Each structure stands twice: as structure tokens, then as C-alpha cells.
Amino acid sequence: ALYTDAADLPTSTFDFVIVGAGAGGAVMAARLSENPSTSVLVIEAGPSDAGLLEIAVPFMAPELTGPFSKWTWNFTTVPQAELNNRTLAYARGRILGGSTSVNYMAHTRGSDDEYNLWAQLTGDEGWAWSNLEKFYFKSARLVAASNGRSSTGLVNPLAHGFGPVEVSLPGHTEPIDDRILQTARTVPEFPLAADLNAGRNIGMALMQSSVSGGRRVSSATAYLHPAISRPNLHVLIGNTVTKLVQTGNTTRGPEFKQVEFAPNSTAPCTSVKATKEIILSAGTISTPQILMLSGVGNATELSSFGITPVVDLPDVGRNLQDQPLLASYFRVISNISNATYDAVERSPELKTAALAQWNATRTGLFSGGVVNGVGFLRLPANSSIFQNITDPAAGPNTGHIEMIFGDGYNALVDPQPATGNFLTVQLSVSTPTSLGSVTLNNTDPFTFPVIDPNFLGTPFDRFAVVEVVKAARRFVSAPTWDGFIGDRFGVIGDADTDEEILDACRKEVVTIWHPTSTARMAARDVPWGVVDPDLLVKGVSGLRIVDASVFPRIPAVHPSAVIYIMAERVADLIQNVGTRAVRDEL
């Protein structure tokens, strides 16, 4: 059942208490409560997503993360040294479904390489793709696009499973779709991918998105709502977890089985207990904040805030990784009416009409996201950067850079011009090597932490961001685009030399919204890392983390599908009492 007031909860003791109902938390809640004799409480700071039109309509995604959004934690970064000291908006979802309720719905599970590297880094073969594929199949399935578009030759049906996250090709056909595919069929540098979700994450494709029947599919719609009527699943919304409390000592270390939370900063805290585990799924920014407020983190730093350290884990809040994103624009000279959606973006009347069509039939422009095409590419092996730097990609089937195509002006930094039609190619470095951090501002759980993604902090990231700008220019200079694309536009468009392009990138880079790794997983027997390969917090009993913070390194894709796979595996481990720590305690 869904609760808004802790006083209405039937008990204060549950088998599992899950903090956060985002990508990781919703999977854990749904899977663990499949056993009717297991009681599960989820505590979510935000409201319910049920019935919210702007959450459900895919095309409205960019409107969900503005500075005054009701559905997000409106975090900001510290001034970014390599971005001319700009401070960036850094929102995360604060609603059932977490960031999957406000994200752009790209569904990319990444190359097999990513997971095989996890297995290598953690010494646990359970993370190798050969052992994970069944959990990918358990998490997601392919459904028809809402416009009935043929998927022949664009996806490999055998690479998809039968899980609750429904994934489809773009439900609205854009004039650029065929041009993207035709370029890929004719220019060897940009090959057409058989299916980016089939293990090799290189090449051009139409975007596979978590959209079904023209509606957003989130971890809330796929996992949480279908389970919420179970008598053993309790979901408390509108309550912020402030602290985890030590409840004892075990051979593994201090035991944390109590959670404190409050509806706001002035209300008194309530406590609940977990008999089996607390599962922290508050996301890459909030998970380390909660750990540190609970005495788990760098002991010296915690002491400087007057927090008594319980476990010294210096990696808490370290190793923050994220992918830089920027928009490169090209003028569209086509005289096809509706060649782009710029007119709709400018016109309240056209938007109302598109929304009315969506309401009536779940079709049209609003039934798809703002981008239709995507490509992941490798930097050439003989790139000068590799003379000094080891290739950061997880393996040969992993792209270094990404291009995402929007059939109109996607305003990331500079607003949409008053007139004109545009193609936006959003560009990203998929394998960034910059490391940032999340640290405490103070000991108030309602104060946002200090967030430093350190964008473009390394020579590799600065090299790759320039290369992806040039790759996009080569892509749209293929003959396929003749008569459609005019000149380059905007801050990136004005730059010619590599130096000018890098300078322009410093002005234009924002986040792609993929922070990871602030509580990274590592092998059991090494002194670094925050969780072990079963995602149990090192040196602590009763506490597991299941969210993007545990990734040993950022996957070179959009991460929500990766979190679903990871959470499915860990839920299976728990259900089958397969984890070493639980076995040890039995």
C-alpha cells in the first residue's frame, strides 16, 4: 500500500527497509516482495508519479528538470574549473521511479565488455555478462513502437527478453530518421549497428527507449505500481531518510538496521527497523550523503564535521564519474513543412494540439522523446591521445563517444532562436576519465551536499570532446544530408580549430545526468571500495547499496538499464540466500 504518513504504517519493523524508490530501489521492492512472507518498506522523499501527465508524456521530458521542478532534487555543482568556472544544474529525480521518472528514457544496456570488466575488477564472475544475460532478459522486453514502425533490420529480437521494462523504437517518425540510417549504410566510419542492446555498443541506430504505447516506462510503472497492492509491500512517500543508526556489532563489523526519517526539516524523526537488511538506493548523490551522516566514510573528514566515525571507508563520495554533454547545431534548409519540431517548440497552440493528439490516441510528436537517432563510436586506435593514455574503454566493443540526434533545437545552454529550423546533434564522451566527488556541506540532512563532477578534468576528456564535435560534422557532411543541412550554428558551430572547439566546449558542456560510482564496488579483499561484489557495505553488517553509486566505473552508455540488470541480480542473490555474508551468518 501507499502511505503519506508514517503514523499509518502497520508496524515499525520490516524484513527489508529500502531507502529510495528509483531505478534500483523499485526493482528491489518489487522482487523482494514477491515472497508473501517477506515484508518490505520503501521510504521515498518525493511524491507519487501516478496520474502526472508531464511525467507520462515522453516529449515533455526536458520540462521536468528545470530549476523549479517539483519532481527533482534541484542540486547544482560547484564551479567547474575546466568549464570557465560555470556552475551546472544537477537535478535528480525526487518522485516514485526516481530519476527514471524524469529521465530521457534511452534504454542502453551497454557492451558485454562493461560487465566482464566489472567481474575482473571485483574478482566476482557473477558480474560477467555470461552470468548476467538472464537478468537483462528478466528486466526488459521489446514492444512495438506506438506508430507501428517496422523494426526489421533495426533490432535483433533474440537480444531481448521478457521483463517488465517495455522498450521500443521511436514512436514518431522524423525526417532525419532515414537520413541517419542511410548515412550509416553508406559511410564506413559510421556503421549501422545490428542492435546496440546486443552486446556490441558501436554504430548508428534508432534509439531504443523505455516507452510503451506512447507513454514513459519508469521503474515505478514497470516494477513498483504493479506490486504496490501486495499486503507485504509498504511504500511511504514524502519522507526523507536522515540517518542510518548502528544497532549492534557483529563479526563483520557494526550492524546498521535502523533508519531515521522525517517529512521535513522541522518535523520530528521517526525510526523503523529492518530484521534482515537496509537497502540504500538513494542514488549517486544522496547515498554517500546518507552514509556520511551515519558515520560511514572518511573518518578524518567525518570528525571534522563533528560526526563520530563508525566505519572508516575513505572511498565514500569519491570517484564520482559523469559524462559531459553538449549540443552542436546545424541549420536545416529543407522546405518540407514540419521538417523539424522547432515550430511546435515555439507555439503554445501547436503544443496544445500535439498534446490533444497524445491524449486522444497516444500518438504523434509527443509520444516519442526529443531524440530519435543515436550512435556510439570508437576513437581511432592511432589517435594521438593513446600515446600517453591507456584506452579507458572497457573493451573493443565499447564506444568512446556518443552522438544523439534531435530533429529540432534542443536547448541545453543557449535558448532556441526565435526563427529557423535546426538539427541538434548532442555529443558526449562515453568513457570519461575525470573523477569528482560528493562531500558534506554540513551535518543537516536537508542541506544539499557539495557536488563536483570535475567535467573535462583530464586530457583524455578534453581530447575526446573535441573529437566528437568533429565526428558529428563529418557525419552530417555525407551526401545524404545534401539539401537538408545548411551551415553550422551556435557557439560550437562558430569554432574551427581544435583550440577554438575546446574553448567552445568549455562554454557549452553540461551534464548528461549520469553520475555514478560514489560508493563503488570492489573486490572483498582490497582496502578500497565501499561495497563488496554482493553490494554489501564493507566492514558493516545489515547494509546493502543498490543504485548507480556502486558501479565500479561509469558504463559507456545511459545507465538505467544497467541498474535494472544489477538490481535483478542482487534481488536474486538475496532471494536465493546466495550471498556470502548471509551464508556466513547462517
Ligand X SMILES: Cc1cc2nc3c(=O)[nH]c(=O)nc-3n(C[C@H](O)[C@H](O)[C@H](O)COP(=O)(O)OP(=O)(O)OC[C@H]3O[C@@H](n4cnc5c(N)ncnc54)[C@H](O)[C@@H]3O)c2cc1C
Active site residues: 514, 558
Nearest in space to 283 (alpha carbons), one of 582, 65, 73, 106: 73
CB of 44 to ligand X, least distance (A): 5
Q: Output the CA–CA distances (angstroms, integers) from residue 343 to 61, 75, 418, 483, in the order listed.
A: 18, 31, 10, 20
CB atoms within 10 A of CB 46: 25
For residues 225-264, which are near ligand X according to CB under 6 A? 240-241
DSSP, res 220: I
CB closer to ligand X out of 463 and 513: 513
DSSP string spanning 129-165?
HHHHHHHHHHHEEE---TT----TTT--GGG----SE
CB closer to ligand X out of 339 and 440: 440
CB closer to ligand X out of 463 and 559: 559
Task: Out of 513, 566, 571, 581, name the contact with ligand X by CB under 6 A.
Answer: 513
Task: Out of 328, 558, 564, 568, name the contact with ligand X by CB under 6 A.
Answer: 558
CB of 261 to ligand X, least distance (A): 6
DSSP, res 335: -
**Which residues have a Cβ under 8 Å from the Cβ of 227 and sit 6 or more positions away?**
29, 30, 33, 34, 233
Q: CA angle, 374 as apex, 370 and 379 as ends, to 5°?
A: 140
Residues 337-366, one symbol each (x = binds ligand X by CB under 6 A, - = not), give: ------------------------------
Examine residue 514 and tell whether it contacts ligand X (CB under 6 A). yes
Nearest in space to 58 (alpha carbons), one of 121, 103, 122, 114: 103
For residues 81-120, which are near ligand X according to CB under 6 A? 91-94, 98-100, 102-106
CB closer to ligand X out of 226 and 380: 226
CB of 99 to ligand X, least distance (A): 3
Q: Output the CA–CA distances (angstroms, integers) from residue 159 to 27, 72, 128, 131, 555, in the order listed.
A: 21, 33, 17, 15, 19
Q: Candidates 41-49, 346-354, 372-380, 488-496 — which segment interacts with ligand X by CB under 6 A?
A: 41-49
* Separation of alpha carbons 279 and 233, rounded Å: 14
CB of 533 to ligand X, least distance (A): 18
CB of 27 to ligand X, least distance (A): 9
Residue 32 burial class via C-beta count within 10 angstroms: exposed 0-12, middle 13-18, buried 19 and up? buried
Q: Candidates 19-27, 135-143, 246-254, 313-321 — which segment interacts with ligand X by CB under 6 A?
A: 19-27
CB closer to ligand X out of 358 and 551: 551
CB of 158 to ligand X, least distance (A): 22
Examine residue 23 and tell whether it contacts ligand X (CB under 6 A). yes
Nearest in space to 195 (alpha carbons), one of 148, 140, 147, 146: 140
- Please give the helix or strand (H or E) that residue 422 lies within, else none: strand 422-429
Residue recorded with cell 530521457: 104
Examine residue 556 and tell whether it contacts ligand X (CB under 6 A). no
Q: CA angle, 91 as apex, 89 and 95 as ends, to 5°?
A: 160
CB closer to ligand X out of 287 and 421: 287
**Which residues have a Cβ under 8 Å from the Cβ of 533 and sit 6 or more positions away?**
122, 123, 124, 126, 127, 521, 523, 524
Residues 280-319, one symbol each (x = binds ligand X by CB under 6 A, - = not), give: -xxxx-x---x-----------------------------
CB closer to ligand X out of 446 and 459: 446
Task: Out of 176, 440, 505, 548, name the contact with ligand X by CB under 6 A.
Answer: 548
Q: Candidates 29-37, 75-83, 311-319, 560-568 — which segment interacts with ligand X by CB under 6 A?
A: 560-568
DSSP string spanning 481-541?
GTTTEEEEEHHHHT--SHHHHHHHHHHH-EE-S--B-TT-B--TTSS--SB-TT-BBTT-B
Residues 53-82, one symbol each (x = binds ligand X by CB under 6 A, - = not), give: ------------x-----------------
Task: Out of 30, 40, 45, 355, name the contact with ligand X by CB under 6 A.
Answer: 45
CB 461 within 8 A of CB 430: no
**224 φ/ψ angles, rounded to the nearest 5 degrees:** -75, -50
Residues 188-227, one symbol each (x = binds ligand X by CB under 6 A, - = not), give: ----------------------------------------
Residue type at position 473: R
CB closer to ligand X out of 362 and 514: 514
**264 φ/ψ angles, rounded to the nearest 5 degrees:** -160, 180
* Separation of alpha carbons 549 and 521, rounded Å: 9
Provide the sign of the torsion angle of the four alpha carbons 157, 118, 299, 582, taken in this order. positive
**Which residues have a Cβ under 8 Å from the Cβ of 300 and sit 6 or more positions away?**
none
**Could you tell me how many residues of this chain bind ligand X (CB under 6 A)?**
41
Task: Out of 534, 560, 564, 569, name the contact with ligand X by CB under 6 A.
Answer: 560
CB closer to ligand X out of 219 and 421: 219
Task: Out of 22, 364, 392, 490, name the contact with ligand X by CB under 6 A.
Answer: 22
CB of 221 to ligand X, least distance (A): 13
Task: Out of 2, 30, 31, 46, name the contact with ligand X by CB under 6 A.
Answer: 46
Task: Out of 17, 30, 43, 365, name the contact with ligand X by CB under 6 A.
Answer: 43
CB closer to ligand X out of 263 and 421: 263
Q: Kindly list the residues in this chain that would bind ligand X in the complex (CB under 6 A).
A: 19-25, 43-46, 65, 91-94, 98-100, 102-106, 240-241, 281-284, 286, 290, 513-514, 547-548, 558-561, 563
